[in-house]
Structures are given as C-alpha cells and as structure tokens.
C-alpha cells in the first residue's frame, strides 16, 4: 500500500505540473493578446488605442515619451481614416467589367493576373529585387476589405508603417488617396471595382490549379486512400504557396521561397525563416494570432500582416500541421495506450510485490 501511495503522489504531482504549472508558465511568459479577429477595422483601431494607452502609461519621460504619444495618436488617427475610406468603398456597388479595366490601368504594369491573361507586368519595376506577386488568386485567399485597405495604404494595412513612411515610401505605390488622406468618389469606385474583379477570378484560378494537381495525383500509382490524402494536402499547400511561399521555405516538403534570399534580406531586414517546424515550435493558437495580426503578437517584427480570410488561414495552418507535425494524430492516439499500459503494469507490479513479500510482513 505504501508503494501505491507513492505512485499516486507521483501521478498527481506530474499531472499538476503538466496540466497546471506548465500552461500557466507559458501564459505568463507570452504577452496576453486578444483573440483572432478578422474584423480588421475593429482590430486595428482597438490595437491603436492600446498602443496609445501604453505610450501614455510608459515609464519614459520628457521628449521621448511625448514623441511616443504623438506617434501613437497619429497612428490611431491614420487607422480611423483608412478604415473609414474602406467602409466608403465597401458601400459601393461594384462592377467586374469596369474592375478589369481599372486593374489594367492601375495594377497591371507591376502585377500579373495570369489566369485572366494579364502577363505583361514589367519585372524591372521591382523593389529590392522583389517582383510583385501574381494576383490571380488574391480575391480568393485574402480578406475583401484588406484588399481595399492595401490598395489605399499598403504600409498601414500590412502594419509595417514604422518602417515605411513619407521619408521611406512603401515599395507598393498607390495613388488612390487625396493629399489629406481622403478618397474621391471616382477612386473609391475604382478600388471597389478592382476588388470585385479580383474576387471574380480568384476562386476560378484557385480551382483551376487544384484540379490540375488532382489530375496529376490521380494519375499516380498511389492507393485511392493515399490519393485522397495527397489531394487534400495539395489544396492546403496551394494556399500556402500563394500566401507565404514567396518568402518562406518549407524544406520538409521540398518547398523553397520564390524570391532570392539576399533580396528578401534587403527588403525585410532579415531572411524569413524556414517554416517546416514552426507548428511544433509555436503551436496552432500562436500561429493563428500571428497570421491574423503579426504586430499584435510580436511587436516590431519585420513580417507584415498577411491579410488572409478565415478559410485561407485555416488552410495555411492545416498545411503547416500536416508537414511539421504529421504524426500528431498517431502520437496522441498512442499516448493514451501507453498510459493504460503503464497503469496495468503498475497494478501487476504491485500485486507481484505483494505476493513475493507477503510472508515477510
């Protein structure tokens, strides 16, 4: 009985550490942030208010504190104006045909939309050697209002406005705003039409690529079950490729960034990391928050906000989980079996000990 009590104490102590102390320690070590929020307007304005409060309550003094407060006030004002402009655009009735013309006029000199035949972008128009992305699937994977916001003020929408400002303009140049930051009726309509056009081709472009990959997989010699798994993974991977793989490697899946590492370092300030193991290093909750709002989760990071919609973010997390933690389901199912095994062995060991030592007591 004494040994059983010792074992029971050990189990209880281990349980408290595993389910109590460790999660509590992690919760205290990482800054508490609000939940994932795809209402980017509310997210940005609320976060700007938090930053202003932090600046006002900081331990800094004098001119340095005043400077921080002034920047935080300006940031809040900028976000309120940006999202007011987006609301104005979103309230308009968009026209896809006009959007295609507006895309050709305003975007096609830098961006491709290869699915719809826009392939004449001038690659010499680049920033830090980085060629602007093909926007064929943008309407399917990015949030609608994020696309509107990034069309107006890319630095603010992607939350890297501390790096890019009037003295150091963002590489993505736009000219939809007036000097006072407002937007005219004509330009608001153009942005609404462009986003409507991107949405009109986005899902078709994504579906076309999915069907092409599925056809290749179905032609392979894999079993039917493996084919289904491979097709499912290819859907997740496709969204990751469009959203993240211009900058990030996933070497476990032999997926490599499309942009030269040195160019990325010049553009971002450092080479973006390989994401093969990020799901195990950071966890799903952290990644969800980080993708949703990089600065809220890791203030000062060079990584811009991605602006994915909820479904695309799920696809990216699913892909990283499948590649970086492919044995998770197997590990979790095996864990309970091992616990049962140890419990049974503990009981047998106790009974065996009792039988051997019974004559000595």
Residue-level pLDDT at 82: 96
pLDDT higher at 218 or 330: 218
The SS3 of residue 247 is: coil
pLDDT higher at 7 or 361: 7
Tell me what the pLDDT averaged over the chain comes to.
89
pLDDT band for position 30 (cuts 50, 70, 90)? low
Residue-level pLDDT at 37: 87
Query: What string of H, E and C letters represents the secondary structure of 43-104?
Result: HHHHHHHHHHHHHHHCCCCHHHHHHHHHHHHHHHHHHHHHHHHHHHHHCCCCCHHHHHHHHH
- Taking the CA atoms of the chain, what radius of gyration do you get in angstroms? 26
The SS3 of residue 103 is: helix
Dihedral through CA 108, CA 112, CA 118, CA 123, nearest 10? 80
pLDDT higher at 14 or 43: 43
Residue-level pLDDT at 330: 84
CB 236 within 8 A of CB 306: no
Chain centroid offset of residue 86 CA: 22
DSSP secondary structure string for all residues of 134-164? P-TTHHHHB-HHHHHHHHH-HHHHTT-TTTS
User: Per-residue pLDDT averaged across 208-213, rounded?
Assistant: 96
Pick from 190, 162, 1: nearest CA to 88: 190
73-114 pLDDT, tens digit each:
999 999 999 999 999 999 999 999 999 999 999 999 889 999
Dihedral through CA 14, CA 17, CA 18, CA 19, nearest 10? 120
Residue-level pLDDT at 203: 96
54-69 pLDDT, tens digit each:
999 999 888 999 999 9
CB 48 within 8 A of CB 134: no
Whats the size of the chain, residue-wise?
361
Q: Is the dihedral of CA 73, 78, 81, 84 positive or negative?
A: negative
Angstrom distance (rounded) from CA 92 to CA 188 = 8
pLDDT greater than 70 at residue 188: yes
Q: Residue 345 contacts by C-beta under 8 Å, 6 or more apart in sequence?
A: none
Pick from 189, 104, 202: nearest CA to 144: 202
First-to-last alpha carbon distance for the chain, in angstroms, is 12
Chain centroid offset of residue 34 CA: 15
Chain centroid offset of residue 135 CA: 18
pLDDT band for position 356 (cuts 50, 70, 90)? confident
Write down the pTM of the prediction: 0.84
Angstrom distance (rounded) from CA 118 to CA 51 = 41
Residue-level pLDDT at 31: 66
CB 36 within 8 A of CB 288: yes
């Amino acid at each position: 009985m004494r040994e059983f009590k010792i074992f029971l104490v050990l189990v209880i102590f281990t349980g408290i550490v595993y389910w109590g102390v460790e999660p509590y320690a992690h919760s205290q070590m990482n800054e508490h942030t609000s939940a994932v929020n795809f209402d980017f307007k509310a997210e940005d304005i609320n976060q700007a208010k938090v930053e202003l409060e932090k600046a006002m309550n900081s331990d800094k003094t004098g001119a340095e504190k005043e400077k921080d407060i002034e920047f935080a006030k300006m940031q809040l004002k900028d976000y309120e104006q940006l999202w007011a402009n987006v609301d104005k655009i979103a309230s308009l009735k968009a026209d896809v045909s006009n959007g295609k013309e507006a895309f050709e006029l305003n975007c096609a000199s830098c961006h491709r939309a290869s699915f719809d035949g826009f392939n004449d972008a001038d690659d010499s128009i680049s920033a830090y050697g980085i060629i602007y992305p093909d926007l064929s699937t943008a309407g399917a994977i990015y949030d609608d209002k994020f696309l509107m916001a990034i069309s107006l003020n890319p630095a603010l929408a992607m939350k890297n406005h501390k790096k890019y400002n009037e003295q150091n303009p963002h590489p993505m140049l736009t000219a939809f705003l007036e000097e006072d930051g407002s937007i005219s009726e004509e330009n608001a309509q153009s942005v609404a039409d462009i986003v409507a056009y991107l949405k009109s081709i986005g899902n078709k472009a994504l579906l076309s690529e999915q069907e092409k990959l599925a056809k290749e997989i179905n032609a392979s010699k894999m079993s039917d079950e493996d084919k289904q798994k491979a097709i499912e993974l290819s859907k997740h991977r496709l969204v990751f490729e469009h959203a993240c793989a211009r900058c990030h490697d996933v070497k476990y899946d032999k997926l490599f960034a499309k942009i030269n590492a040195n160019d990325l370092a010049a553009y971002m300030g450092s080479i973006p990391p390989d994401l093969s193991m990020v799901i195990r290093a950071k966890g799903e909750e952290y990644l969800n928050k980080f993708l949703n709002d990089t600065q809220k989760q890791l203030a000062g990071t060079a990584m811009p906000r991605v602006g994915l919609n909820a479904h695309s973010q799920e696809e990216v997390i699913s892909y990283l989980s499948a590649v970086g933690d492919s044995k998770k389901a197997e590990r979790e199912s095996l864990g309970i079996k091992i616990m049962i095994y140890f419990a049974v062995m503990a009981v047998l060991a106790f009974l065996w000990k009792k039988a051997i030592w019974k004559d000595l007591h």
